[in-house]
Structure 1
Amino acid sequence: MRSLIVFIGVFVLFAQAQAQSYENNRCRCVCPSISTVTNSSESSHKSRIIRIANVLPNKCNCEGVILPIYEEQLQNKSQEFCPRCECNFEYRNINIIKYVVIIVIWVISTLVIYMAFLIILDPLLNKRNKGSYQEHTNEEDETAAGVGGPMAHNMSVRGNVLNRVGHQQDKWKRQVKEQRRNIYDRHTMLN
């Protein structure tokens, strides 16, 4: 558990260092290929131009984001090119995204630790149940007898829970083994 806390701490510090290079505000412009306006056959593929910049909301347009970069290639055809661009100013909260990712990683880590615990616990339960296995034919008769008084009954109930789980697991394994034998060897189905 301590290593998980250290891992999350290192992840948070790394995320803080990386978050400085990202902004909560951004302008995203999607424009067609420059060859659609220039009518040049140099660039035969019709790929879009996607440009993301950190600018003020009033400068989130083709003139503020796209033209400073592609002005030489457009050759004074910006009046034809800019109406085809779609620019959107977006706001996102990086801290909320970061905390959601940390929580998801924590939940997954907890589930993995729980699964490892169950994998380690399974052989211990099976070993204990193999030696003390007694087939119960009629549970109602045993509870009606009430052997040992109320204190012994409470202790036997606690121990019985593990025995019942082990018994059900063994019963299920026998049924699966028998069903496999019937299907693969005898080619019959169980009723």
Structure 2
Amino acid sequence: MSFKLISAVFIITCFTLVSGSYEDKRCKCVCPSPAAVLNNTVGSDRKLYIGNVPPNKCNCDGVILPRVGELIKGREQEFCPRCECKYENRNTTIIKVVVIIVIWVIMLLVAYMGFLICLDPLINKRAKASYQEHTNEDDESTISGSSQQMGTRGNVLNRVTHQQDKWKRQVREQRRNIYDRHTMLN
């Protein structure tokens, strides 16, 4: 069920990103507010104008004057030199693909985290039931008995718990060597 949910979210995300109306080529102009020219005041607020025009028309006459020409009529020579226009050519397809891949990886990691959260109680249930306080005494008989039982069962959960038991045995042996024999394991 979670795979279907992840797939549905992924498909919806793809359609949302693909259906957006983005232009790969545009002219981006940053100009002062028209009020700065009309009132002869120096203002720090700037406006952004974006137009889909060819590179040779990426200037004040091609992008800005069609929009604000009525406001600054007669003062174009004062207004246009204050504008900075740049023609941008970008590849939005690559941007969309990268965003889709990042979202997909995040969804996979969330699904994996959910799987681990569901698996954790199963692993810890057995570990809590069989946990005994550590003593320096050797109890090899219970260890070898549990190892034989692990050999008969072959599912993933038993293999994981078998690895945990193996690790606990190694830790127990290491402690015994350090505290009793004062040697290190290799």
TM-score normalized by structure 2?
A: 0.70
Secondary structure at the aligned position of 2:131 is classed as coil
**Residues 60 and 84 of structure 1: is their aligned pair in 2 closer, same or farther, counting only changes over 3 Å?**
same
The alpha carbon displacement at 1:107 in A equals 1.2
Cα distance in 1 for residues equivalent to 2:84 and 2:137:
74
The correspondence for 2:17, drawn from 7, 15, 18, is 15
**Residues 130 and 31 of structure 1: is their aligned pair in 2 closer, same or farther, counting only changes over 3 Å?**
same
Unaligned runs of 5+ in 2: 153-157, 170-186
1:132 matched to 2:130? The reply is: yes
Residues 62 and 87, structure 1, Cα contact 8 Å, conserved in 2:
yes
The correspondence for 2:121, drawn from 105, 120, 123, is 123
Q: Which amino acid in structure 2 is aligned with residue 6 of structure 1?
A: A
Q: Which residue in 2 is equivalent to 1:162? A: 164
Q: Which residue in 1 is equivalent to 2:25? A: 25
Residues 29 and 84, structure 2, Cα contact 8 Å, conserved in 1:
yes
Unaligned runs of 5+ in 1: 168-191
Residues 25 and 92, structure 1, Cα contact 8 Å, conserved in 2:
yes
**Residues 70 and 166 of structure 1: is their aligned pair in 2 closer, same or farther, counting only changes over 3 Å?**
farther
Map 1:1-191; keep pairs closer than 5 Å: 1-18=3-20, 21-39=21-39, 46-135=44-133, 137=135, 142=140, 152=148, 155=151, 158=159, 159-163=161-165
Cα distance in 1 for residues equivalent to 2:162 and 2:80:
77
| Alpha-carbon displacement from aligned partner over 1:112-132 (angstroms, at most 9, x marks no partner) | 111111211121111111222
**Residues 139 and 113 of structure 1: is their aligned pair in 2 closer, same or farther, counting only changes over 3 Å?**
farther
Identity %: 50
The alpha carbon displacement at 1:140 in A equals 8.6
Alignment RMSD (CA, Å): 3.4
**Residues 51 and 36 of structure 1: is their aligned pair in 2 closer, same or farther, counting only changes over 3 Å?**
same
Cα distance in 2 for residues equivalent to 1:60 and 1:69:
14
Q: Which residue in 2 is equivalent to 1:185? A: none
The alpha carbon displacement at 1:152 in A equals 4.2
**Residues 83 and 40 of structure 1: is their aligned pair in 2 closer, same or farther, counting only changes over 3 Å?**
closer
Cα distance in 2 for residues equivalent to 1:138 and 1:160:
21
Secondary structure at the aligned position of 2:70 is classed as helix
Q: How many residues align?
A: 159
